[in-house]
């Protein structure tokens, strides 16, 4: 039997017991029969005659009856108080049992989440340690080949490969540090008033140099406004989102715009030929999936962007569309300067 059913049964028992007790009080009150108006009460020991009722009652019997009735009413009132106190105690007991049951369920859910997070963290660390080991072995092999190679062209090729892979690995390591700071709530933010249009144009100009030639990034006309935020973190988030959209579209234009909403700003990034399946969306923010593969090929941009926006009081929403037209939307609020 569930807790709710027990709670309902206890309430019914409470109402039934209270109604029975009040019925006894009313019955006790009705047992007190007043004397008729024309009854003559002689001295003690004489018989009292009531003409309309035809009843003969000794005077001392009436006094004794009244005393017993008052005593009975007093006892019943005490019983009512005890029943109410017991009922309240039972209700409180059921309430605390219900609360204990809810807290136990919440703790069980929290424990499951903690176990899943611990397993994910363990898998992430195991994957990272393996990939770091493989990366160091490959770099060591290229370094040995560079030292032993006598051909200048081959030496230059090996040196270029080592530098390129080191730069990519260094960027991934910095991304991993950013993710750890965000998840441990140690990321620091420096808010200042900026020109929103100027920051977005700067981000677009920087991303245009890193994307394929068949992709165009277009900033739609937006009303410029002063905005208080962390320009470095907002620049990083916008750059990651635009770079992801530009590298996952099948050519065409990537459109970015923002709209002022009172003390908030809504950003939208969309693509004309940008497709995203439900499976890609499902693993878009999965840390284990995004860190699978070689160290220098890991992609943590989306995890960082979402974490930064959430820490700055915003929320990132993804609208996947397998037929084209996928878009990102996020809202940031204007932070007042202290």
Question: What letter would DSSP give residue 47?
Answer: P
Q: Which residues of the chain have pLDDT under 70?
A: 1-60, 296-297, 338
3-state DSSP assignment of residue 62 = helix
User: What confidence score (pLDDT) does residue 212 get?
Assistant: 83
Predicted confidence at residue 221, as pLDDT, reads: 87
Q: What pLDDT is recorded for position 87?
A: 83
Whole-number pLDDT of residue 56: 46
Question: Is 299 within 8 Å of 243 (Cβ atoms)?
Answer: no
Give the pTM.
Answer: 0.62
d(CA 135, CA 167): 12
pLDDT value of position 13: 63
Q: What is the pLDDT of residues 10-26, one digit of tens each?
A: 555 655 665 665 555 45
Tracing tokens 């939208």 back to the chain, one arrives at 268
- Cβ atoms of 256 and 200 within 8 Å: the answer is yes
């Amino acid at each position: 039997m569930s807790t709710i059913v027990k709670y309902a049964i206890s309430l019914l028992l409470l109402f039934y017991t209270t109604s029975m007790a009040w019925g006894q009080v009313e019955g006790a009150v009705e047992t007190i029969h007043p004397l008729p108006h024309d009854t003559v009460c002689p001295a003690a020991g004489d018989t009292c005659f009531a003409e309309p009722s035809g009843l003969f009652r000794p005077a001392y019997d009436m006094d004794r009856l009244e005393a017993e009735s008052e005593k009975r009413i007093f006892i019943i009132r005490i019983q009512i108080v005890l029943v109410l106190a017991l009922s309240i105690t039972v209700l409180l007991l059921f309430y605390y049992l219900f609360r204990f049951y809810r807290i136990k369920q919440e703790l069980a859910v929290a424990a499951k989440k903690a176990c899943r997070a611990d397993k994910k963290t363990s898998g992430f660390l195991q994957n990272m340690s393996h990939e770091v080991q493989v990366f160091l072995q490959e770099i060591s092999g290229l370094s040995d080949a560079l030292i032993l190679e006598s051909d200048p062209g081959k030496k230059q090729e090996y040196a270029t490969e080592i530098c390129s892979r080191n730069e990519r690995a260094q960027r991934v390591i910095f991304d991993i540090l950013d993710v750890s700071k965000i998840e441990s709530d140690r990321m620091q933010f420096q808010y200042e008033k900026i020109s929103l249009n100027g920051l977005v144009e700067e981000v677009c100009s920087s991303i245009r140099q890193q994307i394929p030639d068949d992709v165009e990034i277009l900033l739609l006309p937006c009303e410029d406004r002063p905005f208080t935020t962390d320009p470095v973190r907002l620049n990083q988030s916008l750059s990651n989102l635009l770079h992801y959209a530009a590298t996952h579209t099948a050519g065409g234009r990537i459109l970015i715009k923002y709209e002022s909403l009172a003390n908030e700003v809504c950003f939208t990034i969309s693509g004309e030929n940008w497709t995203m399946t439900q499976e890609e969306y499902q693993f878009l923010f999965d840390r284990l999936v995004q860190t699978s593969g070689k160290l220098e090929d890991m992609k943590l941009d989306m995890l960082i962007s979402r974490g930064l926006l959430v820490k700055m009081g915003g929320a990132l929403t993804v609208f996947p569309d397998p037929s084209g037209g996928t878009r990102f939307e996020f809202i940031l609020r204007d932070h007042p300067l202290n």
